[in-house]
């Protein structure tokens, strides 16, 4: 399930940096803490399972009007943000926090919460086509690299697909305490789209440089896994603002 938050700047327009993901992650925890400081702290510090999954993801800023500059962009008027999670407690505290004072702060900028709407999950089936609301990221450990190597789909599509599957299986098992009855999954980006468009995006997240993909894709295989990916995010680093998708 997901919540669509409608935000209004205090002025007619507000300037934001290109790399705002960390500020939004922080804002989400701060908002949850308004409802339950204990839940916010536990989610942030511990998460779930050995890998400390947070089980939430969020979209990029979805603005009808914006103006790009060399250092960032102006958001003109109201905009929205989609936040997705399978955790009922997360969504409950997020909603409570949003309506506590109707404020949501991204970095130094404070916005008024004009509305927060629960969006039920659409029917999702094998062969579903999705669009990315935030970049999809998968990585591996590679000899000669001191940091994780972000897999290039155009170079290793099968490996990229398998890493998506393995990541979803780990998250699914941690959340449900079991594996899905069907663990098959194969992932395809729209290669025609990638040929015509850049398709990649480099995000600076604090001291990390993270390479992700923003392109339509199709997923075949387990309906359970695909639906879980819709809720919690496809790929890695979901709570940092990666892997949020929407049905095309």
Q: In DSSP terms, which residues pair with 74 in a beta bridge? A: 15, 67
Catalytic: which of 20, 22, 44, 204?
Answer: 44
Is 29 an annotated catalytic residue? yes
| Catalytic choice (29, 175, 193, 205) | 29
Phi, psi of 212 (to 5 degrees): -130, 175
Alpha helical stretches, state H, the chain:
21-35, 37-45, 88-101, 157-176, 191-196, 223-232
Query: Catalytic: 193?
Result: no
Cross-strand pairs, 103: 112
Closest CA relative to residue 162, chosen from 211, 221, 215: 221
CA gap 114, 101 in Å, rounded: 11
Return the active site residues.
Answer: 29, 44
């Amino acid at each position: 399930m997901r919540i669509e938050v409608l935000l209004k700047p205090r002025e007619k327009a507000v300037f934001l940096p290109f790399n705002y993901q960390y500020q939004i992650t922080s804002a989400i925890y701060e908002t949850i803490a308004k409802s339950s400081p204990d839940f916010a702290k536990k989610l942030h510090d511990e998460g779930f399972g050995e890998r400390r999954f947070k089980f939430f993801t969020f979209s990029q800023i979805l603005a009808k009007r914006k103006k790009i500059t060399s250092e960032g962009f102006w958001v003109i008027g109201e905009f929205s943000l989609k936040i997705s999670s399978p955790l009922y407690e997360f969504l409950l505290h997020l909603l409570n926090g949003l309506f506590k004072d109707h404020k949501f702060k991204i970095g130094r900028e404070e916005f008024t919460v004009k509305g927060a709407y629960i969006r039920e999950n659409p029917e999702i089936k094998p062969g579903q086509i999705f669009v990315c609301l935030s970049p999809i990221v998968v990585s591996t450990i590679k000899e000669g690299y001191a940091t994780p190597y972000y897999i290039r789909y155009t170079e290793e599509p099968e490996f990229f697909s398998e890493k998506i599957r393995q990541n979803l299986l780990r998250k699914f098992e941690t959340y449900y305490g079991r594996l899905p009855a069907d663990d098959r999954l194969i992932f395809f980006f729209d290669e025609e789209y990638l040929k015509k468009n850049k398709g990649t995006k480099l995000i600076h997240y604090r001291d990390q440089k993270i390479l992700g993909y923003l392109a339509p894709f199709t997923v075949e295989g387990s309906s359970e896994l695909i639906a879980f990916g819709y809720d919690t995010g496809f790929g890695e680093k979901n709570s940092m603002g990666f892997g949020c998708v929407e049905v095309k």
